[in-house]
Structure 1
Amino acid sequence: MEKPKLSATTKIMATLFFTLLLISSAHAFYLPGVAPRDFQRRDPLIVKVNKLSSTKTQLPYDYYFLKYCKPKKIVNSAENLGEVLRGDRIENSVYQFEMREDLPCKVACRIKLNAEATKNFKEKIDDEYRVNMILDNLPVAVRRQRRDGSQSTTYEHGFRVGFKGNYQGSKEEKYFINNHLSFRVMYHKDLESDSARIVGFEVTPNSINHEYKEWDEKNPQLSTCNKDTKNLVQGTAVPQEVDKDKEVVFTYDVTFKESDIKWASRWDTYLLMNDDQIHWFSIINSLMIVLFLSGMVAMIMMRTLYRDIANYNQLETQDEAQEETGWKLVHGDVFRAPVNAGLLCVYIGTGIQIFGMTLVTMIFALLGFLSPSNRGGLMTAMVLLWVFMGLFAGYSSARLYKMFKGTEWKRNTLKTAFMFPGILFAIFFVLNALIWGEQSSGAVPFGTMFALVFLWFGISVPLAFVGSYLGFKKPAIEDPVKTNKIPRQIPEQAWYMKPVFSILIGGILPFGAVFIELFFILTSIWLNQFYYIFGFLFIVFVILLITCAEITIVLCYFQLCSEDYHWWWRSYLTAGSSALYLFLYSIFYFFTKLEITKFVSGVLYFGYMIIVSYAFFVLTGTIGFYACFWFVRKIYSSVKID
């Protein structure tokens, strides 16, 4: 076997990479702009604009893609990796006012629509695009009454670009733009000083066809824009139509309201649309599955297995030994290396990498580091943790590869470092090209793409080699029983023990344990809602681990009792098959909950769901494999073998 060696230069490089890892970790979890900010009366406030988003197309656009009012100089805010990958593009705007100073109707600008601007506005209105704005790190929300008629209110993220409708009995539907914004800023005042903190940011969009006698650029005077604008809106305001050569005047007003909400609770408004009762139902449903499986495993371990082991250990004569049946018969073949053992090692290493990333991300989320107020924090953490977990991927893959008596450790490490991310990057690159073709801000810029490749090649790959080196330095894992030179013939299996059937059956229960929570995750991703209940998610994740482990152990026991010793890959595929049900559920979700009609948007949805399902397959498969690996070693080390 080729033994890995590290030169002094390589050791120095490894030290530098670990230093870079620590620096990057500190940067990844640094939360800029989340600390409370105290405002004095008349302090200037500037509303920032974010992307235009739509749940019908899933393609975000830059705010200034539409012909909105532009400041003299557009300044882009610094964005982290996660924000860029999400398609956020945060810029300054013309909407300015002073803290705790109500502002009556003010003119932002006047724009004449040309053919292209008219076409863009109409398309975005058809696709129900929403405008996202930010004030003091708070996204703008639109208050809505519940459809069930209850007194409580709900909030929608962002306001619509416009709407379609018939005006004054017209048979033809016309397009109207929301050109007047009524901002409402809630603040919590400090009792000891005159300072205050912003705790709410709402907007009421309206469409008003403004009128004026003569336009004055420095001091425009509109007959429809004054202190009585609100009365005009509530009365018989003529909406502003979108059409070629139409003139649109954008206006806004601001009111401030003191609130009892404290700064620490200001995000509660945006998180009201989640129902905790449904999450508890999900937990109870999952726990029932776990209790059922735990009962089966306990019955097998406590009764059947102990009885088997006691019987096998009491066999004294050769005749009795020849008559033995069940899983002891295959002791000479159960640790025989599987077909494509190297590929299995690669997938196991990748699964450990995903497991480590998921576990640490959830722990940070539970501690509050990755709350929705830290935009892009969750995505940034996942990418960086994936990169750093390359160390554990290389280690676990190498340990297993050495147990299988593999000799080409460098090739195995390269496959571990490149196979899974290579497939993901290829899919991601194609999807990004499609988004780029739609001129969407969701397309990842070249600089960010280069940064992702650098993280992959510059950090993840070297860490995988470091982990592989450490893994190969360890002594090989010894099998509890010897393997026969000649493979034993496997008897004809019953139909319910055939690989395809048992594998597909094994994936149902792990999926059943998570599918309710999966609905909320898909909703937060594709319907532009915040997901924040990481406590529930962590419990469901633990339940998923237990379910995958238990169902794999149960089916593995039945397989060995049928004298089929090809358990390596089957244990992986049994738990991993839950990813198939996840993808089938995503198809069901697409046709029942989403209103996507564009071809590119459909490709985007299924492309990303393939990536998610593939990662879920590798994760659950690895959990199932290690559970089965522990179980098989445990039972065969408990039996006396002649």
Structure 2
Amino acid sequence: AKDGEASEARYTLNNHLRFRILYNPAGEDDPPPAGDEGGSYIVGFHVEPMSVKHTYEGAFQGDGAPDVPLTTCAKARAGLGGNDTEAESPGVREGAKPLVMDLQGGNEVVWTYDVVWVRSDTRWASRWDVYLSMQDDDIHWFSIVNSVIVVFFLSCIIALVLARVLRRDLARYNAAATAEDKAEAAEDMREETGWKLVSADVFRPPAHATLLSVCLGSGAQVFNMTLLTLILAALGVLSPANRGALLTAVLVSYVLMGAAAGYVSARYCKLVKEQNHFKATLLTAIMLPGVASAIFFGVNGIAWAHKSSSAVPFGTLVVLMLLWFCISLPLVFFGAYIGFSQDVILVPITPSALPREIREPAWYLRTWAAMLFGGILPFGAVFVEMYFILSSIWQHRFYYVFGFLLLVFVMLVITCAEVSVVLCYVQLCSEDYRWWWRSFMSSGSTAFYVFFYGLFHYWNRAEAGGGGGWLGGGVFLGYMLILFWALFMLTGFIGFTSTFYFVRKIYSSIKID
């Protein structure tokens, strides 16, 4: 207060609720149920809290007796069958004063409600549109346009590399007729494109090759699960009217895609000559779900300790474990059996007996630099949609623009693939053939950006008083860790797969003496 004047806070209490019920008469498009001719469909339900200082005649008995009417209430204008656009029961008169509470006590509170029936043009079949309508269309479209520009920019770089550099060098070297021409072409290639100089080592299995194969299998499982779920959601199969349909689809599709995980892991294990097939398959089956389950059980334990209603019941946990061990695990082994029975993936060049010495790379060619730069562009393609998803979670709103989300996922796949290919090409030109893990890590680093953005978003909510306290923070952190782990496998798989086919393509196009 200024100049010694005291300021007193005022507190009002919402003691009145107005229920607005939207109805649409049954017609030819929406016929009424049998035996209910001439009825109406309820297509919307809104609740508006209000603060009203009620006045009444005589002594209020507290039982709503008709002989003590509230003078702050208006009389009904029409019933449900009236022709008015709004037909309401006795409600609050206009100009009613709010109910200001006395902090010293002695307040009299009359709790009331009124019902307003509003005829609506919304049909029964489209009653969910009001909740599923996309908000901030311009920002969503800006996100898509931004992603398209990023993808177009990267595609131009890839086209430049393939059309102008690779094709020119390949044609010049392969067309050399004489030994002198060939030596000159080789010298030019040494100066411009050092990637050919490591041809004898480029397909040499990396360190911890089995672990890489396991990560690729896990990434393939998450990739197929995500793609299948988004397609079903975009087609409208997963209706919000069916509570929990989206989560059920995610779990079921993940379990069924265990066969894809085992198959992909087995194919790459066979390529790197892994002899212990059982070990590789078992790691594929437990690596991602094992870490995710450990985090989930920890979060659920915290919720149990706080007696939170968000804790998952024990029966549900048992069902999840049964899905994992009784369905997903056997499917992984089945897919691995199919993968190991296939012929080994052919590579154009057999690695030499002795590995080539690698020069000390510049700082911008190290793995940490590739991870730092490799995750920026894919994250830039998805961060706007991440904002809408996190905002919907915190504001308890429906998120049902899965058509946009599917497009964003496609942009993520393309950017991860192209970034990994470009970084791999630069690395090979510097005569460093250790591209296997780096191609996985460079695109997989997108998950780090998503994780830290999630923490930043939560911090802003906590500063505004909407963080949910320690319990809410712990639950959010746990779920973000699960998202990080799954997204790391997903984007790493995309980056490695695209890079692997790129490397196979360019080295199968040159002549090796």
Query: Which residue is equivalent to 1:569?
Result: 437
Deviations 1:10-29 (A, max 9, x none): xxxxxxxxxxxxxxxxxxxx
The Cα shift of 1:393 comes to 0.6
Rate the CA distance shift 1:440–1:561 in 2: closer, same or farther, 3 A.
same
Question: C-alpha separation between the residues in 1 aligned to 2:277 and 2:410?
Answer: 33
Task: Map 1:306-455 onto structure 2 (within 5 A).
Answer: 306-314=167-175, 317=179, 320=183, 323=187, 325=190, 326-455=194-323
Question: C-alpha separation between the residues in 2 aligned to 1:215 and 1:583?
Answer: 54
Q: Secondary structure at the match of 2:201?
A: coil
Question: C-alpha separation between the residues in 1 aligned to 2:499 and 2:123?
Answer: 51
Choose the corresponding residue for 1:615, options 468, 477, 486: 486
Rate the CA distance shift 1:234–1:609 in 2: closer, same or farther, 3 A.
farther
Q: Secondary structure at the match of 1:230?
A: coil
- Percent identity between the aligned chains? 49
Query: Which residue is equivalent to 1:194?
Result: 38
Task: Map 1:144-223 onto structure 2 (within 5 A).
Answer: 171=8, 176=13, 178-191=14-27, 193-207=37-51, 213-214=60-61, 223=69
Question: C-alpha separation between the residues in 2 aligned to 1:413 and 1:537?
Answer: 32
Query: Which residue is equivalent to 1:8?
Result: none
Question: C-alpha separation between the residues in 1 aligned to 2:73 and 2:449?
Answer: 58
8 A Cα contact 1:481 1:636, kept in partner: yes
The Cα shift of 1:621 comes to 0.8
Does residue 624 of structure 1 match 2:495? yes
Does residue 600 of structure 1 match 2:471? yes
The alignment of Structure 1 onto Structure 2 pairs a total of residues equal to 472
Question: C-alpha separation between the residues in 2 aligned to 1:289 and 1:350?
Answer: 27
8 A Cα contact 2:73 2:93, kept in partner: no
Q: Secondary structure at the match of 1:632?
A: helix
8 A Cα contact 2:447 2:487, kept in partner: yes
Does residue 634 of structure 1 match 2:505? yes
Question: C-alpha separation between the residues in 1 aligned to 2:208 and 2:105?
Answer: 64
The Cα shift of 1:343 comes to 0.9
The Cα shift of 1:242 comes to 10
Does residue 274 of structure 1 match 2:135? yes
Q: Secondary structure at the match of 1:339?
A: coil
Rate the CA distance shift 1:543–1:170 in 2: closer, same or farther, 3 A.
same
Query: Which residue is equivalent to 2:396?
Result: 528
Query: Which residue is equivalent to 1:477?
Result: 345
Query: Which residue is equivalent to 1:539?
Result: 407
Query: Which residue is equivalent to 2:3?
Result: none
The Cα shift of 1:254 comes to 2.4
The Cα shift of 1:472 comes to 1.0
Rate the CA distance shift 1:562–1:405 in 2: closer, same or farther, 3 A.
same
Question: C-alpha separation between the residues in 2 aligned to 1:276 and 1:216?
Answer: 49
8 A Cα contact 1:186 1:259, kept in partner: yes
8 A Cα contact 2:262 2:332, kept in partner: yes
8 A Cα contact 2:295 2:478, kept in partner: yes
Query: Which residue is equivalent to 2:87?
Result: none
8 A Cα contact 1:207 1:240, kept in partner: no
8 A Cα contact 1:556 1:571, kept in partner: yes
What amino acid is aligned across from residue 182 of structure 1 in structure 2? R
8 A Cα contact 1:394 1:468, kept in partner: yes
Query: Which residue is equivalent to 1:259?
Result: 120
The Cα shift of 1:207 comes to 4.7
The Cα shift of 1:239 comes to 6.0
Q: More helix by proportion, 1 or 2? A: 2
The Cα shift of 1:182 comes to 2.1
Deviations 1:545-584 (A, max 9, x none): 1111111111111111111000000000111111121122
Rate the CA distance shift 1:170–1:563 in 2: closer, same or farther, 3 A.
closer
The Cα shift of 1:543 comes to 1.2
Deviates more, 1:575-584 or 1:343-352: 575-584
Q: More strand by proportion, 1 or 2? A: 1
8 A Cα contact 2:21 2:44, kept in partner: yes
The Cα shift of 1:204 comes to 1.8
The Cα shift of 1:600 comes to 2.1
What amino acid is aligned across from residue 131 of structure 2 in structure 1? Y
8 A Cα contact 2:53 2:96, kept in partner: no
TM-score between the two structures when normalised by the length of structure 2: 0.85
What amino acid is aligned across from residue 265 of structure 1 in structure 2? S
Deviations 1:370-409 (A, max 9, x none): 2433332111111111111111111111111111111111
What amino acid is aligned across from residue 469 of structure 2 in structure 1? K
Choose the corresponding residue for 2:426, options 547, 558, 566: 558
Q: Secondary structure at the match of 2:505?
A: helix
8 A Cα contact 1:179 1:240, kept in partner: no
Question: C-alpha separation between the residues in 2 aligned to 1:575 and 1:507?
Answer: 6
What amino acid is aligned across from residue 205 of structure 1 in structure 2? P
Question: C-alpha separation between the residues in 1 aligned to 2:170 and 2:68?
Answer: 92
Question: C-alpha separation between the residues in 1 aligned to 2:44 and 2:492?
Answer: 45
The Cα shift of 1:512 comes to 1.0
Query: Which residue is equivalent to 1:284?
Result: 145
Question: C-alpha separation between the residues in 2 aligned to 1:536 and 1:295?
Answer: 24
Deviations 1:429-462 (A, max 9, x none): 1111222233322111111111111111111111
Choose the corresponding residue for 1:508, options 336, 358, 376: 376
Question: C-alpha separation between the residues in 2 aligned to 1:610 and 1:341?
Answer: 25
TM-score between the two structures when normalised by the length of structure 1: 0.68
The Cα shift of 1:190 comes to 2.0
Question: C-alpha separation between the residues in 2 aligned to 1:436 and 1:344?
Answer: 36
Query: Which residue is equivalent to 1:588?
Result: 456
Rate the CA distance shift 1:459–1:235 in 2: closer, same or farther, 3 A.
same
Question: C-alpha separation between the residues in 1 aligned to 2:411 and 2:133?
Answer: 26
8 A Cα contact 2:10 2:101, kept in partner: no
8 A Cα contact 2:258 2:328, kept in partner: yes
Uncovered stretches (5+) of structure 2, i.e. residues with no partner: 1-5, 29-36, 76-89
Rate the CA distance shift 1:216–1:297 in 2: closer, same or farther, 3 A.
closer
Rate the CA distance shift 1:254–1:504 in 2: closer, same or farther, 3 A.
same
8 A Cα contact 1:579 1:613, kept in partner: yes
Does residue 548 of structure 1 match 2:416? yes
Rate the CA distance shift 1:220–1:331 in 2: closer, same or farther, 3 A.
farther
The Cα shift of 1:195 comes to 2.3
Question: C-alpha separation between the residues in 2 aligned to 1:423 and 1:244?
Answer: 54
Question: C-alpha separation between the residues in 1 aligned to 2:249 and 2:164?
Answer: 45
Deviates more, 1:188-197 or 1:574-583: 188-197
Q: Secondary structure at the match of 2:49?
A: strand
8 A Cα contact 1:197 1:263, kept in partner: yes
What amino acid is aligned across from residue 614 of structure 1 in structure 2? W
